[in-house]
Structure 1
Amino acid sequence: MRTTTDAFHLAIPARDLDEAYEFYVEGLGCKLARRYDDRITLDFFGDQVVCHLSDAWEREPELYPRHFGVTFRERDDWDRLLALVHQRKLCVFAEPSERFADKVEKHSTFVLRDPSNNLLEFKHYDDPRMMY
Structure 2
Amino acid sequence: MSLSPFHLAIPVYDLAATRTFYGEVFGLSEGRSSTQWVDFDFYGHQLVIHEHPKTASQESVHSNPVDGHNVPVPHFGIILEWAQWEALAERLKSFGTAFVIEPYIRFKGQVGEQATMFLFDPCGNALEFKAFKDMSQLFAK
TM-score, scaled relative to structure 1: 0.87
The answer to whether the 8 Å contact 2:14/2:51 transfers is yes
Which amino acid counterpart does residue 18 of structure 2 have in structure 1? A
1:97 aligned onto 2:95: no
Task: Show the counterpart of 1:87.
Answer: 94
Q: Which moved more, 1:57-66 or 1:7-16?
A: 57-66
Residue pair 1:71, 1:131 contacting (<8 A) in 2 also: no
User: One-letter code of the match for 1:71?
Assistant: I
Instruction: Name the count of aligned residue pairs.
Output: 129
**Alignment partners' CA distance in 1, 2:45 and 2:12:** 18
Q: Which has the higher contact order (CA 8 A, sep 6+)?
A: 1
Taking the aligned partners of 2:97 and 2:46, their CA distance within structure 1 comes to 21
The CA distance in 2 between the partners of 1:80 and 1:103, in whole Å, is: 23
Q: Aligned ranges for residues 51-66 of structure 1 at < 5 Å?
A: 51-57=49-55, 58-61=58-61, 62=63, 63-66=71-74
> Percent of aligned pairs with the same residue?
31
Using the alignment, how far apart are the partners of 1:33 and 1:81 within structure 2?
A: 21
Gaps of 5+ in 1: none
Coordinate RMSD, CA, aligned: 1.9
